[in-house]
Amino acid sequence: MTLACFLDRDGTLNQEKGYIRNVDDLALIEGAAHAVKRLNDAGVLAILTTNQTGAARGFYDEAHIQALHNRLEQLLWDEAEAKLDAIFYCPHYPRGVVEQYATECTCRKPAIAMITQACEAFPAIELAQSVVMGDKASDIELAHNAGCQSVLLKTGYGQAVLDGRYQSLTHQPTWVCDDVLAGVETFLAPAKASLLS
């Protein structure tokens, strides 16, 4: 059995800055690299699952999304020798202006195709004991739909979600934490020790 932590990107690992058009503007949230390193050291898969509608909206192409992810991975490694085990993203948006991406899909959170793809890549993942972490209600709904536990982070849009000012929670998260490092520490608490041994 393998545990996975399905991590959102913007507002979770890197600072929420809207649509990042300049790759160099991507900056980590404090503690994010050490959070991913904790997952690495615990043998928990660190898997990025992120909606990236910038391509559908015509702001940039998929190559730019890849460049952002390359920078994210480099920053994680440089700060803590932390690494993501896999990256999955959804470029679609039904009301987008770029035809190839302006479509309904099964990968845009809270739909579960990105987690399904992760399970195909890592068949030993035990979803019921795994976790989705993010700053939006859609991350919590993704967890519910996939049968995972969930952490709503107060970074990014998280506090606005909790205050009822952004999106609406249909299901309550398993935990609410200040940031991704606190979320990882909570997930890896002693109660998980037997599962990780």
Helices within the chain (DSSP H only): 32-42, 62-80, 113-121, 137-146, 158-162, 180-187, 193-196
Instruction: Answer for the pair 103, 111: CB distance below 8 angstroms, yes or no.
Output: no
pLDDT digits 0-9 by tens, 1-59? 899 999 999 999 999 999 999 999 999 999 999 999 999 999 999 999 999 999 999 99
CATH for 4-196?
3.40.50.1000
Q: What is the pTM of this model?
A: 0.95
Partner residues linked to 149 by β-bridges: 131
pLDDT digits 0-9 by tens, 111-121: 999 999 999 99
Question: Each residue of 148-190: pLDDT tens digit?
Answer: 999 999 999 999 999 999 999 999 999 999 999 999 999 998 6
How many other C-beta atoms can be found within 10 angstroms of the C-beta atom of residue 37?
20
Closest to 153 (Cα-Cα) out of 18, 41, 29, 51: 29
Q: Which of 10, 85, 135, 179 is catalytic?
A: 10
Domain boundaries, the chain: 4-196
Clarify whether 139 is annotated catalytic.
no
Which helix (DSSP H) or strand (DSSP E) does residue 153 occupy? strand 149-153
**Residue 8 known to be catalytic:** yes
